[in-house]
Amino acid sequence: MSSAAIIGTGSCLPERVLTNHDLEKMVDTSDEWIRTRTGIRERRLADPGTAASDLAVPAATRALAAAGIPATELDLIIVATVTPDTLFPATACLVQERLGARGAAAFDLSAGCSGFVYALGVAGQFLATGVYRTALVIGVEVLSKIINWQDRNTCVLFGDGAGAAVLQSVPAGRGILGLHLGADGSGGSLLTLPAGGSRLPASSTTVQEQLHTIHMSGAEVFKFAVRVMGEASLKALEKAGLKKEDVDFLIPHQANIRIIEAATKRLGLPPKKVYVNLDRYGNMSSASIPVALDEAYRAGLLLRDHKVVMVAFGAGLTWGAAVVNWELDPPKGA
Ligand code: UT7
């Protein structure tokens, strides 16, 4: 068996900023409540005409440029998202066409906010077994399109964005060292978009009842997240044959600063080893980790041979953690 390493990253954020003060004018909330309960100050919102693939393609193009790989070399494209352009065809196929990666296998993956870690794991398996050599993994969300802007419990939390990573097969012992994915479907109703699928097809009633927007039991998801973020990280470290003392950098899913702090504490890490951009972007679901990874890499925070842990939780309920040996030197000028 071989392994798979990240050889380039990229991201794309919409330009439009929505601050907590903007939200104060839309729902009964306050900047103080949002900052202290979540750590979020502002988030990015896509324009009405922008779909997931419009953010995914620039993120992917930047990742390919960073990797020095033409799109024609891609064997596989996985797009992790809960906000695809359409239910079908897969957004991955739209991305494949626009990148000019004709022939590459392409599919979407739905694992909520754990989507990027799941996709990394799936792509990693294809590369480790020698089926494919080069893969593109994207996490992208346009959550602003599925938010109920009258619901203060959810509308303050989320943002739009895309992050991408190019993976290539490497000898065993490098790249992805440990992976732990899991799910508990009994918690499915705690975080869901009820309508638009085969259970509740779109109708005027589903639209009137806001059933095409995010429904979440925040406090329940919070408790679950605090538990699984630490547990999943420790399991992935165990599979990698590493201890928490070996971790050089943590890239957690960016949902709530209190959840990140709990995971940080469980791993015994100092805050400087944990990447946080939640204050600027809010929760971008499956895009959170790849955007954070790209920013940390470009800021020169990730050094060659660093042991980097990525960990997430999300709708499903799902969780996932990956431990990677970072195989890149910081970019010039970082
Ligand atoms: O990536 C996976 C996606 N999901 C998540 O990450 C969610 C995880 N959960 C959380 O981050 C937190 O549970 C929230 C930030 C959603 C909520 O924080 P909380 O400390 O669990 O608050 P709560 O839900 O227990 O609500 C406390 C109070 C309630 O008022 P009452 O009933 O105590 O009078 C809410 O109605 O805060 C109220 N509240 C708000 N107040 C002002 C809820 N949202 C807001 C708001 N502004 N935006």
On whether both 194 and 321 belong to a single domain, the answer is yes
Cis check: omega of the bond before 194, within 30 degrees of 0: no
Per-residue pLDDT at 82 exceeds 90: yes
Under DSSP, the state recorded for 74 is -
* Cβ-contact 177, 306 below 8 angstroms: no
> Helix, strand or coil for residue 109?
strand
What is the C-alpha separation between 99 and 74, in angstroms, rounded? 10
Task: Report which protein residue has its CA nearest ligand 1's atom 20.
Answer: 37
Summarize the confidence of residues 282-311 as an average pLDDT: 98
Summarize the confidence of residues 103-126 as an average pLDDT: 98
Q: Which is the catalytic residue, given 12, 20, 93, 113?
A: 113
**pLDDT band, residue 333 (cuts 50/70/90):** confident
**pLDDT band, residue 84 (cuts 50/70/90):** very high
Of the candidates 264, 248, 326, 266, the residue with the CA atom closest to the CA atom of residue 9: 326
Q: What percent of the chain has pLDDT over 90?
A: 99
On whether both 218 and 274 belong to a single domain, the answer is yes
On whether both 135 and 194 belong to a single domain, the answer is no
Position 331 in a domain: no
On whether both 17 and 124 belong to a single domain, the answer is yes
Q: Other C-beta atoms within 10 Å of 20: how many?
A: 20
Distance in Å, CA 29 to ligand 1 centroid: 11
The full length of the chain comes to: 334
Position 334 in a domain: no
Q: Say which amino acid occupies 95.
A: V
pLDDT computed for residue 120 by the predictor: 98
Position 137 in a domain: yes
Position 333 in a domain: no
Name 63's Cβ contacts closer than 8 Å, sequence gap at least 6. 8, 9, 10, 136, 164, 165, 166, 294
Evaluate if pTM is beyond 0.95.
Answer: yes
On whether both 120 and 245 belong to a single domain, the answer is no
Summarize the confidence of residues 11-33 as an average pLDDT: 98
Distance in Å, CA 153 to ligand 1 centroid: 6
Distance in Å, CA 232 to ligand 1 centroid: 24
On whether both 151 and 220 belong to a single domain, the answer is no
On whether both 43 and 120 belong to a single domain, the answer is yes
Summarize the confidence of residues 227-237 as an average pLDDT: 97
Q: Is 24 in the pocket of ligand 1 (CB under 6 A)?
A: no
**pLDDT band, residue 25 (cuts 50/70/90):** very high
Q: What is the pLDDT of residues 238-249, one digit of tens each?
A: 999 999 999 999
Q: What is the pLDDT of residues 273-288, one digit of tens each?
A: 999 999 999 999 999 9
Which numbered atom of ligand 1 lies nearest the CA of 153? 44
> Helix, strand or coil for residue 17?
strand
Summarize the confidence of residues 173-194 as an average pLDDT: 98
Position 69 in a domain: yes
Q: Is 169 in the pocket of ligand 1 (CB under 6 A)?
A: no
Position 43 in a domain: yes
**pLDDT band, residue 1 (cuts 50/70/90):** confident
Domain boundary among 173, 194, 217: 173
Main-chain dihedrals φ then ψ at residue 167, nearest 5 degrees: -115, 145
Main-chain dihedrals φ then ψ at residue 6, nearest 5 degrees: -80, 125
Total structural domains in the chain? Answer: 2
Which numbered atom of ligand 1 lies nearest the CA of 283? 1
On whether both 86 and 193 belong to a single domain, the answer is no
User: What CATH number has the domain bearing residue 299?
Assistant: 3.40.47.10
Domain boundary among 144, 173, 202: 173
Summarize the confidence of residues 26-39 as an average pLDDT: 98
Q: Is 255 in the pocket of ligand 1 (CB under 6 A)?
A: yes
What is the C-alpha separation between 127 and 170, in angstroms, rounded? 8
Q: What is the pLDDT of residues 122-141, one digit of tens each?
A: 999 999 999 999 999 999 99
Which numbered atom of ligand 1 lies nearest the CA of 113? 1
On whether both 121 and 248 belong to a single domain, the answer is no
> Helix, strand or coil for residue 273?
helix
> Helix, strand or coil for residue 188?
helix
Could you confirm whether 212 is annotated as catalytic?
no
**Tokens 């100092």 belong to residue:** 270
Summarize the confidence of residues 62-82 as an average pLDDT: 98
Q: Residue 168: beta bridge partners?
A: 5, 134
Mean per-residue pLDDT of the chain: 97
On whether both 168 and 315 belong to a single domain, the answer is no
Position 254 in a domain: yes
Do the bridges between strand 76-80 and strand 105-109 make them parallel or antiparallel, or are there none, so unpaired?
A: parallel
Which numbered atom of ligand 1 lies nearest the CA of 312? 1
Position 332 in a domain: no
Could you confirm whether 253 is annotated as catalytic?
yes
Give the structural domain span for 137.
3-173
Q: Other C-beta atoms within 10 Å of 257: how many?
A: 18
Tokens encoding 126:
């294809």
Domain boundary among 146, 173, 200: 173
Q: Is 194 in the pocket of ligand 1 (CB under 6 A)?
A: no
Per-residue pLDDT at 334 exceeds 90: no
Of the candidates 230, 252, 248, 233, the residue with the CA atom closest to the CA atom of residue 303: 248
Task: Report which protein residue has its CA nearest ligand 1's atom 17.
Answer: 218
Task: Report which protein residue has its CA nearest ligand 1's atom 12.
Answer: 218
On whether both 162 and 184 belong to a single domain, the answer is no
Distance in Å, CA 204 to ligand 1 centroid: 29
Could you confirm whether 180 is annotated as catalytic?
no
On whether both 7 and 124 belong to a single domain, the answer is yes
